[in-house]
A = this chain, B = another copy of it.
């Protein structure tokens, strides 16, 4: 094999590491691939780490120990995250997005790969330390952002359904009270989708009173799964207490349902904090 130059290794390493976020690659894996010495690869990784940091492209870290190696985690600085969310807020405040009944048209935003990827990176950044085994979402609108969060975390996505389906096998169904309508709804998850003792991160598009989120937590309880966090694209500001706690939303929406022109969408407070906790 022809000798591979550092330039080329840089490009290839970057592509491979960023295509599999949060996965640990051993240095030996790359040594073999590139026919280079470990010391050379170590230098490569050092240069990469600095470059990623300098351009705000994510975090490259060296994990020590028996299962150690190099790991890439997509990350956005708090400042970039705030700017990203502020741009979204601007867009969402457009009067043309207001729908009858005080609803806001969000679907396009929730389906643009670039945008949901950014949201997923920001959300994942808050939960790397919680080390979830999977991301749970309730069909349908939250699936894209939940998938992108799962991708950044390097874990599978699990989708709860509104009814059990023949192609999902034995399922656990629970009933929950939808916060906004007060109606009893059903949520279903295949028995084989998750396992007792796993850790779940809930990701969904919208939280109002938290009824659906509470349902997802109850569903995880039935499986013996520990919920390590809950994140949403948008939260409805309201005085009534939510049914769940410690959730994180990217944006907060204020609106007096009787006067839709009062609509205001702003970044969530935790994004505005200068430094990470």
- From 141 to 192 in chain A, residues with beta carbon under 8 angstroms from any chain B beta carbon are 141, 143-144, 147-148, 150-151, 154-159, 161, 166-169, 190, 192
Chain B residues, CB < 8 A from A151:
113, 117
Interface on chain A toward B: helix, strand, loop, or mixed SS? helix
Copies in the complex: 2
Chain B residues, CB < 8 A from A154:
113
With A117-B151, A143-B143, A144-B147: A111-B8 Cβ-Cβ less than 8 Å: no
State how many angstroms separate the Cβ of A34 from the closest Cβ of chain B. 9
Interface residues on A, range: 35 or more
State how many angstroms separate the Cβ of A80 from the closest Cβ of chain B. 13
Which of B103, B161, B167 has a CB less than 8 Å from the CB of A166? B103
State how many angstroms separate the Cβ of A236 from the closest Cβ of chain B. 12
Is A193 a contact partner of B108 (Cβ separation < 8 A)? Answer: yes
Chain B residues, CB < 8 A from A13:
11
Residues of A within 8 A of B (CB): 6-8, 10-16, 18-20, 47-48, 50-52, 54-55, 57-58, 99-101, 103-108, 111-114, 116-117, 139-141, 143-144, 147-148, 150-151, 154-159, 161, 166-169, 190, 192-193
- Given contacts A11-B52, A108-B193, A139-B139, could you give 13 more A-B pairs where the C-beta distance is less than 8 Å? A7-B7, A11-B11, A11-B13, A11-B14, A11-B57, A12-B52, A12-B55, A15-B18, A107-B193, A112-B156, A113-B157, A140-B140, A140-B161
